[in-house]
Each structure stands twice: as C-alpha cells, then as structure tokens.
C-alpha cells in the first residue's frame, strides 16, 4: 500500500510543482489555486527540480565573459 501512496503523491506533487515553475505562476498563486500551503509548493519545486548538468572547468568563466559582453553592448546602445 505504501507504494500506491507514493505514486499518488508523485502524481499530485510533480504537476503542482510544475504549475509554479513551468506555467508562470508564483509559489503563492500556485498554492492558492491548489488550496495548499506555500511551503508545500516550495518543497515540491525543490524535490522535482531537474539536476543541473555539471559545468566544464572553464564554463563559468566563459559564461560570465559572455554575460559581461552582452551587458557592455546593451550599455553602448544607450
């Protein structure tokens, strides 16, 4: 019976978390819409969040450099 309960929880919690992450609802809006506590939505969002892919050693530096370049370009357009 515990397996059935676990399956039911996952079927309810995962879509609830997606409401806040993929459908543009805030945690508060999702909680109100579903009639659950905001803390539950936050927990489910963390629980079902995808695991980020590991970065290559220089990926963070390259990512920051690209971001800085983009910001410089935006500033120069003013």
The model's pLDDT over 8-29, given as tens digits with 9 standing for 90+, comes to 566 777 777 777 777 888 888 8
Please, which pLDDT band fits residue 6 given cuts at 50, 70 and 90?
Answer: low
Domain boundaries defined on the chain: 2-76
Mean pLDDT of the chain: 78
* DSSP states along the chain: -HHHHHHHHHHHHHHHHHHHHTS---HHHHHHHHTS-HHHHHHHHHHHPPPPPPPPTTHHHHHHHHHHHHHHHHHHT-
């Amino acid at each position: 019976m515990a397996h059935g309960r676990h399956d039911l929880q996952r079927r309810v919690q995962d879509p609830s978390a997606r409401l806040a992450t993929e459908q543009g609802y805030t945690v508060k809006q999702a909680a109100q819409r579903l009639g659950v506590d905001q803390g539950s939505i936050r927990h489910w969002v963390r629980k079902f969040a995808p695991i980020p892919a590991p970065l290559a050693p220089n990926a963070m530096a390259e990512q920051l450099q690209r971001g800085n370049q983009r910001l410089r370009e935006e500033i120069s357009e003013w």
